[in-house]
Structure 1
């Protein structure tokens, strides 16, 4: 099982389990230079950590879904800012619609907007166009990765520092 955390001896790194002997003591009649495929070391082909509890979707798939909904939110904000300056009537319609319908699910929001009226359909098309363009051209993916890594690292450091200071204080008070 590739996702298992238990490793067979043959799956350990070469410095722990360096070689398979050339002789086959169990099968003396088997040629020394040839091995049966069941005796060859099995290597794990996945270098990623297995994350249990996500069902059929990976954590990346869950994050992508959340980003998809977030991009809809961003697109609504961008379209609203554009409409506010040159089409106040459409801006009011959009804000009224946003007030009545949650933006938790971006696709559901756009689907509902399509069915509201022909004017809302045009707004929905504009939101989907901006959502796609923002995701493809403007969102800084590399920046997201570095910011997320920085946040996790700083948070871990802060939490460990706080724990050590709390436990050190508790031990000196005894």
Structure 2
């Protein structure tokens, strides 16, 4: 089971907003040197502790990969429901007995179930790939994630200020 450390807000460095026209600079973070020199390298990104072998982006990509499998299964079941009710029922039975948490494991199990299931698995793989390449709106993902983080941070800070100012006024 994977675990991640949650640091209090005071542990994060504060990056002040920059005036336009100035180059962004960040405090230096220790990075693994690419050579055996003993010089300290300065990274331009935050160091993320506790992620071991994979970056946060790699872990997010793995979750998206499994999510794309889920989306592909939803698309294929919707297609089958309207034009191949028998295959739809077979896929629904398989879904009831197999988890979709690991998309590759799900597809591997589906392929090995029977020749009919193999063709369903291949269709899911095809749809997963097509959805990822052609239909998923990557720019929209970034925009929405940024918006959610900003709105959530603002709400949490506002709620905290309201709670603490209310508690102070009662004293």
What TM-score comes out, normalization by structure 1 length?
Answer: 0.75
TM-score by length of 2: 0.76
Distance 2:113 2:40 in 1: 58
SS at 1:104 equivalent: coil
Q: 2 CA distance for matches of 1:106 and 1:43?
A: 38
Q: Deviations over 1:65-95 (max 9, x none)?
A: 0000000000000000000000000000000
> Paired residue for 2:158, among 148, 161, 166?
161
Gaps of 5+ in 1: 6-12, 15-37
Please tell me whether residue 97 in structure 1 is matched to residue 94 in structure 2.
yes
Gaps of 5+ in 2: 1-11, 13-23, 26-36
Asked if residue 62 in structure 1 is aligned to residue 67 in structure 2, the reply is no
Looking at structure 2, the residues matched to 73 and 66 of structure 1 have their Cα atoms a distance apart, in angstroms, of 11
Higher RCO by CA contacts (8 Å cutoff, separation 6 or greater): 1
Residue matched to 1:17 = none
Give me the CA root mean square deviation: 2.1
Count of matched residue pairs: 137
In structure 2, the partner of 1:142 is 139
What residue is the counterpart of 2:31 in the other structure? none
Separation of aligned partners in 1, 2:60 and 2:112: 28
Runs of 4+ off more than 3 Å: none
